[in-house]
Amino acid sequence: MALEFTDNNFQETALAGGVTVVDFWAEWCGPCRLIGPIIDDLAAAYDGKAQIGKLNVDENPEVSLKYGIRSIPTILILKDGEVVDKQVGVTSKAALEAKITSHL
């Protein structure tokens, strides 16, 4: 199961180091619902290797604003707290796996 990132826990969880994948999403977003199960699958597949989670943009505006999220879904890959890759819009599980693996 994917982690749940929030404005309150983002600093100590997502920016703690290593590779972190953040899916910026919202309940009303159709494309976000398509990518949600992929994020859950990746969280299980990369357990212990990378932190993978979701951040609801409606409930957590501070982090969304900090990273300039204007379209959802947007997936950021962070390494040691720095953005190293970005995916805007729906993509395949294989494409996300390739991006994650390249930063491990």
Question: Hey, what amino acid is at 21?
Answer: V
45 in catalytic set: no
DSSP state of 39: H
Question: Hey, what amino acid is at 15?
Answer: L
Determine which one of 3, 19, 21, 29 is catalytic: 29
Q: Which two tokens stand for residue 68?
A: 């300039």
- Cβ–Cβ < 8 Å for 76, 55: no
> Residue 2 belongs to what H/E stretch?
none
32 in catalytic set: yes
Please tell me whether the peptide bond between 37 and the residue prior to it is cis, using omega within 30 degrees of 0: no
Determine which one of 2, 19, 32, 78 is catalytic: 32
List, by residue number, the catalytic residues. 29, 32
